[in-house]
Structure 1
């Protein structure tokens, strides 16, 4: 076989491999998880609603624009759960049982996302940087929120959906009087949960210092009493010993007899 023939065969093989790789990439990008239903309406819509899912489906189409995961049994959103979905604009995670969301859960989609729905879940708190760089309109209503400093800092950075903002209420609170009230109304009234946090920390430090001082004082008192008892016993022991004058007199008496 000549050189030209070998080159021709090599080019054909390279073209064949390249074609297979391209087909595999297309299939992978457009594949739809079996538990979901995918439709292409000016952008991929992935419908995974009410499928009893406990986790985010794997191998979601990379050209997904709308991802609907509501009414499932998802409890946790792990880090970088949607990192390959760079075209994602709408994400619906409502009506699940989500209890926790990791800080980097929305990494890779944060800047392009336009709507994020986390309403009707079991969220009571969320890390401060979870929504970093997110410009989407966010729904957080109907969750059992604990009103304290970290929640206040999270809400300060978000664009809450105005239609549901009054449904983001204090299920529990650092101050009992705010339970059941909309968080935004409480904050708008001038309440600063971070001040309560600092006050609580100061009280805890005061209590800790008081306990430490009490322990040191108790030890000193014990040490003094223990030393006094040792001193008293030593003095009693010395008193019980015969004096030198008595020993001398007894010695003189014995000598005279001899």
Structure 2
């Protein structure tokens, strides 16, 4: 005897709903979903990932993608995670971040770990609007204006500041130096190799320009004077000598 339509309907609904729920087999190998301290957590640590994984639930609050082979973070990579609070991208091969890498996380993201990557510079735009605590240590930083601007936008995770060190791409005199110590002494947000050096060069050029102007003015004055000396003297009207008779008459008149 065939089951009635009334009996089949609940079965179809259950089958349909079940097919829409992602199964553990749909997750990338090495990734799993867990609840840690009462918060939805998605872990993909040491999973051999070379690209961001799919299937991350949109209610994820903590996302761990550390110890993989990620080389970049594209624009809007996490904007489908509206409640994400913590993001760990440490110990990857990141060499670049999009200026919109963390777009959509302005109101929620609080902790970001970018340590132990290959970042030489990051765009300031990537951190605009974020209220985060970030770990930037153990990267080969170029120690440029972009990094200085980023540190004005974010707070460093406690104890990580000493790990921000200038890498091989920095100025030769900065390689191996701690960036925070350097930033206190030198303004890097100028064109060229640093604002302070640029300002010094500009001041030197202005001073040299002033001296050159004075020298040019002196030379012009000197040449003009020499030209005056070499000009022929002006002809003077001849002076007529008075005869003695006229002189006597003039003496009489004066008396």
CA distance in 1, matches of 2:165, 2:81: 32
How many pairs align? 190
Aligned to 1:33: 27
> In the alignment, is the contact (CA less than 8 A) between 1:29 and 1:62 conserved in 2?
no
CA distance in 2, matches of 1:181, 1:118: 19
Q: CA separation of 1:179/1:157 partners in 2, compared to 1, >3 Å: closer, same or farther? A: same
Aligned to 1:228: none
Higher deviation after alignment, 30-39 or 142-151: 30-39
Aligned to 1:192: 187
Q: Which runs of 4+ in 1 moved over 6 A?
A: 15-25, 29-32
Instruction: Report which of the two structures shows the higher radius of gyration computed on alpha carbons.
Output: 2
- 1:76-95 equivalences under 5 Å are 76-95=72-91
1:169 aligns with one of 150, 165, 170:
165
Q: SS of the counterpart of 1:186?
A: helix
TM normalised by structure 2 equals 0.65
CA distance in 2, matches of 1:102, 1:17: 45
List gaps (5 residues or longer) in structure 1: 1-8, 207-258
List gaps (5 residues or longer) in structure 2: 206-255
Aligned to 1:255: none
Aligned to 1:179: 175
Deviations along 1:69-128, one digit per CA (max 9) or x if unpaired, are 111101011111111111111111100001111011111123211110000000001112
Larger helix percent:
1
Q: CA separation of 1:17/1:69 partners in 2, compared to 1, >3 Å: closer, same or farther? A: same
Aligned to 1:233: none
2:46 aligns with one of 50, 53, 69:
50
1:133 aligns with 2:142: no
1:99 aligns with 2:95: yes
TM normalised by structure 1 equals 0.64
CA distance in 2, matches of 1:89, 1:139: 15
